[in-house]
Amino acid sequence: MSTEKAGAFSITARSACGARCGIVAVCGGSGALATPSCVVPTFRGVVPFLPPDVVGQVVAPLAGRAGTGPPAALLVQGDAIKVVPAGFDQGFAAFAALDGPVMAVVADPARYNMSGSRSKSSVTVETPAGRTSLDIAGYKALLAGLKADIVELLVDVPQPGAGTRRCAKALDNTTAMWEALAAADDRSAQGALVLARVTGGDAGSVVQQSVALVRKMAGAEVLGGVVGGVVVPDLRSVAADSVTAEGGYASGEAALAAVAAELPDSLLRVYEGVEQPHEIVAAVRDGKGDVFYGTYPTAAADLGYALELSLAHGQKQHVNLRDVSFAESQAPLVAGCPCYACEKHTRGYIHHLLVVHEMVGTELLMIHNHYVFQAFFADIREAIAAEAAGGAPFADIAAAFMAAS
């Protein structure tokens, strides 16, 4: 079943309920990305609160577990415009001292706001220095500098609640940009796995046309990379009355299910807007998502929370380390956790660091939370592979996780 083509996605195991394990054979020298997986978001080119030399060490206790390597980093192309210097030729991973694969996307999951002018040759993106226009020439130059392992094609995404005309215009613009990129005679993507996003906003009929466009692009070589994946927007919030028009869907859930069913099975599915552990388990169970954005561990650490989470035991209530009751605690963040933060530090010490606004406190929470999340995905991969090898059904494990959380 596997295809050993550089940049290709291949499925390695399936469960009866539709969950799947796979491998993105990335070609940048950073090894393979095993799925289901979560990528760690960066801001201005770095993982928030984590020095570059720490990022690769977060998963050290997971050595030897299914497909676990240095975490993949999520890079927003708007951020990258200001991060990657002109004439840059070493690639982003080398620049930011990251060990794992790098995935570059257009829309920032933390600031999902792409208002501004768009056309058939450019989109507006957020950068650390404000909004700017990213046109086809600029996009190609960016890809050539980034040397990312997975890249998203330039795409026009309408604002939530945009009317059908705006949604249709977004698809027109996207179609024109993709045709221009497919026709371009250069190798900017350099063997990367290329993602095509489903666009169309709240307009069901436009979403259907967008899925048809993604299907058409699947397997095509664009800028030297192969279109082997799709970014699936979270369509669940789509209001029923906005999708019941002719050619639309009966509800947001129906739209999502239909989109998942209509997309080629062979595409890597990057599932946007699904961040909570129980949502992730449900999406994996139903075969809707292979790669997720790891915004949840960062958001929790930012608020002073330590995650307690495992596929076998469910998600427990988060521990709020700012709470004064932890001031004297000699316990680790989570008993039995093998991460660096829990091995070396106590709740009382981390509480103190947070109270005095010492950044190391948040850094330790980030190490713990990202370790927990990466271990959670290792659990998921191993459970799917175990069912394929005759073990317990993943659907039962997912149901038990939901019940325990």
Of 175 and 374, which has the nearer Cβ to Zn ion? 374
CB of 333 to Zn ion, least distance (A): 5
CB of 156 to Zn ion, least distance (A): 41
Residue-by-residue DSSP string for 363-383 = HHHHHHHHHHHHHHHHHHHHH
398: part of which helix (H) or strand (E)? helix 394-404
- Does 231 participate in binding Zn ion (rule CB under 5 A)? no
- What Å distances lie between residue 38 and 29, 70, 299, CA to CA? 19, 11, 14
Among 59, 337, 350, 380, binds Zn ion (CB under 5 A): 337
Of 196 and 301, which has the nearer Cβ to Zn ion? 301
CB of 4 to Zn ion, least distance (A): 37
Of 288 and 345, which has the nearer Cβ to Zn ion? 345
Candidate segments 4-12, 161-169, 224-232, 330-338, binder of Zn ion by CB under 5 A: 330-338
Q: Which of 318, 363, 326 is nearest to 348 (CA)?
A: 326
Q: How far is it, in rounded angstroms, from Cα 362 to Cα 368? A: 10
Q: Which of 27, 152, 145, 38 is nearest to 92 (CA)?
A: 145
Of 24 and 337, which has the nearer Cβ to Zn ion? 337
Of 71 and 204, which has the nearer Cβ to Zn ion? 71
Q: How far is it, in rounded angstroms, from Cα 120 to Cα 87? A: 27
Of 60 and 245, which has the nearer Cβ to Zn ion? 60
CB of 341 to Zn ion, least distance (A): 5
Residue-by-residue DSSP string for 236-285 = TTS-GGGT-STT--SSHHHHHHHHHHHS-TTSEEEETT--SHHHHHHHHH
- Does 342 participate in binding Zn ion (rule CB under 5 A)? yes
- Does 339 participate in binding Zn ion (rule CB under 5 A)? yes
State how beta strands 130-135 and 122-127 pair.
antiparallel
Candidate segments 20-28, 110-118, 242-250, 367-375, binder of Zn ion by CB under 5 A: 367-375
- Does 319 participate in binding Zn ion (rule CB under 5 A)? no
Q: How many residues bind Zn ion (CB under 5 A)?
A: 5
Candidate segments 57-65, 147-155, 191-199, 339-347, binder of Zn ion by CB under 5 A: 339-347
- Does 347 participate in binding Zn ion (rule CB under 5 A)? no
Among 368, 369, 387, 397, binds Zn ion (CB under 5 A): 368
Of 21 and 339, which has the nearer Cβ to Zn ion? 339
Q: How far is it, in rounded angstroms, from Cα 185 to Cα 195? A: 19
Name the region of 64 (left: φ>0; alpha: ψ -120 to 50; beta: rest).
left
Q: Are 224 and 187 in contact (CB under 8 A)?
A: yes
Candidate segments 34-42, 117-125, 176-184, 360-368, binder of Zn ion by CB under 5 A: 360-368
Q: Are 25 and 5 in contact (CB under 8 A)?
A: yes
Q: Are 259 and 251 in contact (CB under 8 A)?
A: no
- What backbone phi and psi angles, to 5 degrees, belong to 231? -95, 115
CB of 340 to Zn ion, least distance (A): 8
CB of 328 to Zn ion, least distance (A): 20
Of 147 and 370, which has the nearer Cβ to Zn ion? 370
Candidate segments 43-51, 309-317, 329-337, 358-366, binder of Zn ion by CB under 5 A: 329-337
CB of 335 to Zn ion, least distance (A): 10
The structure tokens 């915004």 sit at 295
Q: What angle do CA 114, 118, 121 make, to 5 degrees?
A: 125
Of 101 and 304, which has the nearer Cβ to Zn ion? 304
Tokens linked to 7: 């940049």
Binding residues for Zn ion, rule: CB under 5 A, are 337, 339, 341-342, 368
